[in-house]
Structure 1
Amino acid sequence: MRFLLAKIESLGIPWNRRELTTQDLFRLCRRFRITVQEMPLTVGGFYYRAMGKDCIAVDSRLPEVEKLAVLFHELGHYLFHAPETGATASFHHLAGLTREECEADVFAICALLPRPLIE
């Protein structure tokens, strides 16, 4: 858990201090050169790396708030679970309740529902 918190702190964003926005999400994606693609999908979204490029795909039919939650979840996979090299893919909640899915969920939940908002 300390590794995750240190990684988040190094981002220099107000994660878990204020509600993060679509602009915050896209600013982080630009910083890490992650391409975001919206398209009709049979899953909420997924993160993948192919030929050295990182991408997040999200179902274009989702309501905006759900889409943002999926995008932050997939960004969590990039930040915490992407290997340094090689191809990878991570699908939104398709793998069931694994440690990686829980970590990505916590990242997304705290991005959108920070502690001050619920205290």
Structure 2
Amino acid sequence: MAELTTAGYQSLRNYVNSESASPPPWDYIELYDETQSAITRVSITGDTRCQWLDADGDNTLQVEISLQGSDADIPQPTTIKYSALWDASSGGNQLTPQEQFAEATLNQDGDSVVITHSLNIPQ
């Protein structure tokens, strides 16, 4: 389960501090291969493959992304092993460290994987 980076904590501080400019939304998830090289970054609320799963008041939030080998932004073959949350579609601040999960390889159009990125928000 991912914690927050320094930039993630600062984003929370900026959100709470009414004197700060509004921070960018935590709306992007980036996926990485086994060498920790970026594969793709997508909007959680703007991409139909993604969704927030858990907003019930506990300290764990989850993002789910469902991928197919036929997705245009996933080259074949690709092994996906890490994910991280960002505050921009490119550039921006990485808000969580890369979270490692059981790797999944997409070799052909019919392959699929569902990845859940968990984020622990301190109480």
More strand by share: 2
TM-score (norm 1): 0.28
Structure number with larger C-alpha Rg: 2
Q: TM-score, normalised by structure 2?
A: 0.28
More helix by share: 1
